[in-house]
Structure 1
């Protein structure tokens, strides 16, 4: 299945394969000469009866947009009617707890609101040559996101961001590195995602997990709750983050999901 969560093109593989084959299968599917998308997840049977479905990303990472894509697909197959809504409970790689997604049918697409895993901490992270005094490291169990406030999204800034993503990908020892260039004046986000195990470094059309990290960063900076829209190349996502004396206590992201195509891909990985 090919889905578009805010144009972050996502492939969900429903046939069964050994986990050791996920990465070579994904690498071929992602290529320009094949199905071509920004990420690949594999649909599995959940381990717990409390979950409806399980998502395992090709790089073992957690992906918010892929979770929303699978939740929308699950709701569609349950026959969710126009203007109806339902909650889909998922197990997901990179998440210790269940993740719950509220899905609303808005013909012809779906609007999803996903409760995101919380960051372990948000800490200052100065970057030589790119530091504006307003950057932070948002650390999760399985990933690192660097949020950089910048009103410049030119090629030089992107090249420096890509150097940060590549360096952290080689040294941090986690499945996913994100560098989020965020312009607070325009509320614009340029999301860069590095999955080292797939040798995949992509400027994505949108990033749900990156949107969550921007929300966590803004709530930490404000020392209070934040609700805002985040404009990305693929469209607008929404984030709500809560914060108190303990730190970030909840993050929810929302965005539209379209089901694009269904078919068989011939893989020779």
Structure 2
């Protein structure tokens, strides 16, 4: 099988976007092969489809049907790249995205190298607080539930071995999923604004420490805004770079959530599956 692809780098969350039309039943197998070290090698795979909504330029369907903010920004950047957007020019790209019930608008500004992307994010469906037994220790966590993905936020003082082991234990707790296609565990060091994201996708069996996670950064931003009872403007530092998160409230409720980050086009070509 030959597969046309574009490899992108949204905050170094290496994302392969497949352009070739494939049946969705093939997505898990194709994604697992493309992600492997001896193949194209990436942290995640999305598939570009025709949109049902005539207002959308395209549809992004992630490998397990989960929602992904970074991949949505990557697709927006690809649309700008295809249209040869010049440095300093701005483009708004409406997209259908798996895990999101409404169209999302990705704003793209071309730069001399890469693109600055701003994405309107879906709001969390719910915020739950629980205490989990992780590595034999009761650990308070906050769970932000989004369409298609749940993020478990764990406040840590250090990104050390014990914290990472707790994250791996949490990622495999099937009880944390309530129909979502993916589970993220966000180790968050509040005092420095740093985030280390671990993402588990049961459909493909992948458990990856990602260099960056857009929806995870959004989850932390929403969590911070709700905790503060006010709008926030945070720069979330991740291993691959910074994602800026901004929130907007109305009547004391979270009413708007955006993320902003840089996307680079790394490669395009044909992969052999």
TM-score, with structure 1 as normaliser: 0.95
Structure-2 residue corresponding to 1:210: 216
The whole-number CA distance in structure 1 between the counterparts of 2:86 and 2:56 is 22
The whole-number CA distance in structure 1 between the counterparts of 2:125 and 2:12 is 28
Distance 1:90 1:228, change over 3 A: same
Count of equivalent residues: 266
User: What runs of 5+ residues in structure 2 fail to find an aligned partner?
Assistant: 1-5
Distance 1:184 1:171, change over 3 A: closer
Match of 1:231 among 230, 234, 237: 237
Residue 144 of structure 1 aligns to a residue whose secondary structure is: strand
Structure-1 residue corresponding to 2:31: 26
Residue 247 of structure 1 deviates from its aligned partner by: 3.1
Match of 1:96 among 92, 101, 104: 101
Is 1:37 the counterpart of 2:42? The answer is yes
Residue 116 of structure 2 aligns to a residue whose secondary structure is: strand
Deviations 1:200-248 (A, max 9, x none): 0101000000000000100010011011101100011100022355632
Residue 26 of structure 1 aligns to a residue whose secondary structure is: helix
Distance 1:40 1:46, change over 3 A: same
The whole-number CA distance in structure 2 between the counterparts of 1:239 and 1:168 is 29
Pairing of 1:233-252 with structure 2 (within 5 A): 233-245=239-251, 247-252=253-258
Superposition RMSD in Å: 1.5
Residue 15 of structure 1 aligns to a residue whose secondary structure is: coil
Residue 79 of structure 1 deviates from its aligned partner by: 1.8
Structure-1 residue corresponding to 2:14: 9
Residue 131 of structure 1 deviates from its aligned partner by: 5.5
The whole-number CA distance in structure 2 between the counterparts of 1:144 and 1:202 is 15
Q: Is contact 2:150–2:177 with CA below 8 Å preserved after alignment?
A: no
Structure-1 residue corresponding to 2:119: 114
Pairing of 1:107-186 with structure 2 (within 5 A): 107-129=112-134, 133=140, 135-168=141-174, 172-186=178-192
User: What runs of 5+ residues in structure 1 fail to find an aligned partner?
Assistant: none
The whole-number CA distance in structure 2 between the counterparts of 1:65 and 1:7 is 10
Residue 126 of structure 1 aligns to a residue whose secondary structure is: strand
Q: Is contact 1:168–1:177 with CA below 8 Å preserved after alignment?
A: no
The whole-number CA distance in structure 2 between the counterparts of 1:119 and 1:51 is 22
Pairing of 1:27-66 with structure 2 (within 5 A): 27-66=32-71
Q: Is contact 1:224–1:244 with CA below 8 Å preserved after alignment?
A: no
Residue 17 of structure 1 aligns to a residue whose secondary structure is: coil
Match of 1:79 among 78, 84, 88: 84
